[in-house]
A = this chain, B = another copy of it.
Amino acid sequence: MERVPVLKIGDILLVSIQIDMEDQVALQLQEDLADRIVATGCHGVIIDISALDIVDSFVGRTLATIASVSRVLDAETVVVGMRPAVAITLVELGLSLPGIRTALNVELGIELLARSRQDELTELDFDEDEPDAAAVSTS
């Protein structure tokens, strides 16, 4: 069976979709990706769809599921490389890929992930500081 490889680059998992997303391939990819997120502790997933001529509702749903599964495992997903024609067809089909972040290419996707991770960490720092501040004011 054909299988979409998941490549690890630093803190990011990269998937380049080039083959037809049949049921089995999509399920296998979801499983592989979830396994790799847990095994590597990566916080970002980039899915490149620049090879796809067509993104139908099934592929759209697959991407959404992958993004949701990743989110539950504390990894953010960015879909990159969408062709202009694909974007137009998607919207004409009434599919706007809700819940999926996009970027023009892999490099911008990596930047987006790094920035959003940074924001998240900053928020965490802020949350942790809160009790201290409260403790100081009551003392």
Chain A residues proximal to chain B, CB less than 8 Å? 2-5, 7-10, 14, 16, 18-19, 48, 50-51, 81, 105-107, 110
Contact = CB atoms under 8 A, between A and B. Distances in A.
B107 A3 contact: no
A74 B15 CA distance: 27
Contacts of A18: 2, 4-5, 16, 18-19
Contacts of A8: 105-107
Contacts of A2: 18, 51
A10 B48 contact: no
A107 B42 CA distance: 14
Contacts of A81: 5, 7
B48 A106 contact: no
Contacts of A14: 7, 14, 106
B107 A5 contact: no
20 contacts: A2-B51, A4-B51, A5-B18, A5-B48, A5-B51, A5-B81, A7-B81, A7-B105, A7-B106, A8-B105, A8-B106, A8-B107, A9-B106, A9-B107, A9-B110, A14-B14, A14-B106, A16-B18, A18-B18, A18-B19
